[in-house]
Structures are given as C-alpha cells and as structure tokens.
Amino acid sequence: MALSRDAYRMLEDIVGPEYISEGLGIRDSYAFNVTCGAGSAFYTRPGAVILPESTEEVQAIVKACNRFKISFKAHSTGWCAWGNVFAEDGILIDLRRMNRILEIDERNQYAVLEPYVNGAQLQAELMKVGYNCNVVGAGANVSILAGCTSAWGWGFNSFGYGVSSRNLLVMEW
C-alpha cells in the first residue's frame, strides 16, 4: 500500500529526497532475508524506508507517522523478521546514518553512542585508549546498543567483559 502524497512529502521534508524511498527494489531488499527461515525468504515489505541522521529527525518522523496513522519500526543493523515492519504500509526507519560515537569518557569508563555504532567501531576506538568491550555473538558488525537493549548480549568475551545487557548504564529512548 502506498503512502499518501501528503505523508510522503512531510517525511521527505524531514530527511531530504535522497534519504526516503518507496522504490520496490529498496523495499524488497529490506524484506529479504533467508538466514532466519520461517518458511519464506521474504518478510513484510515496508511501505517506505527512511534514513534519519539525528534524534530530532527521528522525533519528527514519529510525529508525522502518528499524524497520518502510519505504523513504523526502527531498524539498527537488524536482520530477520524482528528487524522489519509488521504491516505493508509501515515505515522502516533505518538508523544507519546515526553511526557516531559521541563520547568516550576514559575516567568514568563509559561511551555515548548512536544506535548504528557497531561492535568493531566501538572496540577499535576503545582499544586506542586501553579499553575493550563485549562484542555480541552475532558479530562485530551488529549494533552495540541492540545487543544491550534487545537481547541478552552474550558474546565470546562475556566471561571477561560481562553480558551486554548488564553493561548498559542508561538509555535515552
């Protein structure tokens, strides 16, 4: 199901025309995933995919979706059915442009991250200052925050660095 032109224009105004798409190829690429089975290689195709760059853009997208009664799902290095929308007219909010490490506080031993920072990215920066972190068993290519907030965050080095879900100090949602 296509979005109304008013809804699409409002979303496009938030992120710019290069960061929103209703193209079938784009939508199918987010719906395709054979790694998790469930009988089909395709999951629900989103109505559109949008890529915000900031918290403010995400807030504006959610407000627009609420205004037009459009379902949405945020996606941060997510794979399989649980990383996708549940309704064909839903918007998939891909957070890949929010991939910055905002702060590493060596003294207090914490980092402030955006949702698309992956394990390899954080680990490389931490190692520069003599620290390390738990990388979940899904691999260094997945979101550090997803491992802390959306599962248990168990990894091969959890024995030394703890389980990711227990390492999360605070989260702004």
Q: What is the mean pLDDT of each run of 10 residues along the chain (173 residues)?
A: 90 98 92 64 87 97 97 81 78 95 94 92 95 81 78 68 71 68
147 vs 25: CA distance, rounded Å? 29
- Provide the pLDDT for residue 40: 65
Model pTM? Answer: 0.84
The confidence score (pLDDT) of residue 76 equals 82
**Which of these, 7, 75, 2, 21, lies nearest to 43 by C-alpha position?**
75
Q: Report the DSSP beta bridge partners of residue 91.
A: 48, 72
Comparing CA positions, the residue from 130, 59, 125, 122 lying closest to residue 95 is 59
Contact 89, 22 (CB under 8 A): no
